[in-house]
Amino acid sequence: MPIYEYVSEASEDPEHSCRICAKGFELRRPVDRAPLEVCPLCKNPVKKVISRVNSPVVSKPMSVTDAKKAGFTILQKRDQGVYEKL
């Protein structure tokens, strides 16, 4: 289930929102459910916030020496189905 972030639509005016929705809150909800329209605590209107996406950093492949230092076994193909340990 994804995590959605919500914040009060009246976040500039703390009198119209509770302490939870004024700062914003996270909620785990199924994808097929409609987004929240009101705060579950104070029933004031809230809006869904688009948050940052965490994507993996793409790096270059490891060199043979780096892989050996990390504890991997390095094999190199010599013949049909024959591998040699480096």
Does any domain span residue 80?
no
Residue range 43-53, pLDDT digits in tens: 888 888 877 77
Domain count, the chain: 1
With a pLDDT cut of 70, the percent of the chain lying above it is: 90
- Domain of residue 8: give its range: 3-49
For residue 54, tell me if it sits in a domain: no
The 3-class SS string of 7-50 reads: EECCCCCHHHCCHHHHHCEEEECCCCCCCCCECCCCCCEEEEEC
In a domain, 63, yes or no: no
- The predicted model scores a pTM of 0.52
State the pLDDT at residue 20: 81
